[in-house]
Amino acid sequence: MNSFSILFNEVYKILFLLIPVLVTVAMIVWLDRRVWAFVQKRRGPNVVGPFGLLQSLADALKYIFKEIIIPASSNKVIFILAPITTMTLALIAWAVIPFGENLVLADINVGILYLFAVSSLGVYGIIMGGWASNSKYPFLGAIRSAAQMVSYEVSIGVIIINVLLCVGSLNLNDIVLAQKNMWFVVPLFPMFVIFFISALAETNRPPFDLPEAEAELVAGYQTEYSGMMYAMFWLGEYANILLMCAMGSILFLGGWLAPLEIEVLSFIPAPFWLIFKILFLFILFALVKAIVPRYRYDQLMKLGWKIFLPLSIIWVVITAGYLLYFNLLPVQL
């Protein structure tokens, strides 16, 4: 009975985390579309429910009742596993995101490595979907996505080293608490900008949505998918976007910490500060999509390998040199 209670408690905690994440994913799609409409002076979703808030629910119901078509020439097992893999990896990464000092599902010492590893594995779902479709356009889209995601993961990894040098710990709680006096966005602002742009490329968001560029690859790796299998790719993509916003908030914007340690702001619970920061970064994601035109693929690769990677490495040297010269290296190191 004791082991059953422990199991039930763990399942309860997992559901308590995953259900809000899935609901939030549905709501940020509405927010995404409203931001685009605002920039382009359109109304956006405004018919289904008050202010169009139920539009995402209507879209979800449409996907549920649509027929799932599996191409006859596809590798059916991998074709089905691809969207499941994408969505699962996008959701399990949230296990280590701390919403408060002790408010986290799994407080592991290597939380940042876990996040980086799980987000990196997301490329496998896309490659599986593109290859298993047995069609040229999805396959080309999957190859593009693999090259793009791997390229910008290198930059993100080097950027994270800058933060770790300032903290001396891989634990996400320690990273947040190290920003009590000053958020890392201030001393590491260039790295924050590069992280934000790299996150756009990592999640295939405009102006880097080349794996699914309609002009040359139809819908890319998702071309042969329909119904709920297409929706699972969509859920995984938006969950990854939220995850990158959460990573940016924790690494650079102080996580759950309030902007100023003053009495006026103390009544707001810690989780709300992290949520506000995630929404702020997501709105920036949406604004970029509405404003910035799409890159060419050669420009995308040049930006990642010839500009972002050298700048990130140079900044690591500067950060390490500064901390060493002024004897500011954390004790944990």
Residue 68 has pLDDT above 60, yes or no: yes
For the segment 164-185, the average pLDDT, to the nearest whole number, is 89
For the segment 142-160, the average pLDDT, to the nearest whole number, is 88
Contacts of 3 (CB under 8 A, 6+ apart): none
Q: Rounded CA gap, 264 and 177, in Å?
A: 20
For the segment 314-326, the average pLDDT, to the nearest whole number, is 91
296 close to 208: Cβ distance less than 8 angstroms: no
Q: What is the CB neighbour count within 10 angstroms for residue 304? A: 22
Percent of the chain with pLDDT over 90: 20
Q: How far is CA 217 from CA 40, 145, 222, 233, in A?
A: 25, 12, 10, 17
For the segment 260-286, the average pLDDT, to the nearest whole number, is 81
Q: pLDDT per residue over 178-187, tens digit each?
A: 888 889 999 9
CA distance from start to end of the chain: 43
What is the pTM for the complete model shown?
Answer: 0.90
Query: 214 or 152: which carries more pLDDT confidence?
Result: 152
Mean pLDDT of the chain: 85
- pLDDT value for 235: 87
115 close to 98: Cβ distance less than 8 angstroms: no
Q: Rounded CA gap, 231 and 222, in Å?
A: 10
Residue 262 — pLDDT band, cuts 50, 70, 90?
Answer: low
Q: How many CA atoms lie within 13 A of 116 on its CB side?
A: 20
For the segment 132-139, the average pLDDT, to the nearest whole number, is 85
For the segment 158-169, the average pLDDT, to the nearest whole number, is 90
Widest pairwise Cα distance in the chain: 65
For the segment 162-175, the average pLDDT, to the nearest whole number, is 89
Q: pLDDT per residue over 180-220, tens digit each?
A: 888 999 999 999 999 999 999 888 888 888 766 655 666 67
Alpha helices in the chain (DSSP H): 2-39, 55-65, 76-92, 111-132, 136-167, 172-177, 189-202, 214-217, 227-252, 270-291, 297-302, 309-325
Contacts of 224 (CB under 8 A, 6+ apart): 69, 71, 74, 79, 133, 135, 138
DSSP annotation of 141: H
Tell me whether the omega of the peptide bond preceding residue 45 falls within 30 degrees of 0, making it cis: no
Residue 313 has pLDDT above 90, yes or no: yes
For the segment 54-76, the average pLDDT, to the nearest whole number, is 87
Spacing of C-alpha 318 from chain mean position: 28
For the segment 32-51, the average pLDDT, to the nearest whole number, is 87
Q: Rounded CA gap, 202 and 150, in Å?
A: 8
- pLDDT value for 307: 92
For the segment 69-97, the average pLDDT, to the nearest whole number, is 88
- pLDDT value for 333: 44
- Tell me whether residue 143 is exposed, middle or buried, using C-beta atoms within 10 angstroms of its C-beta: 0 to 12, 13 to 18, 19 or more: middle
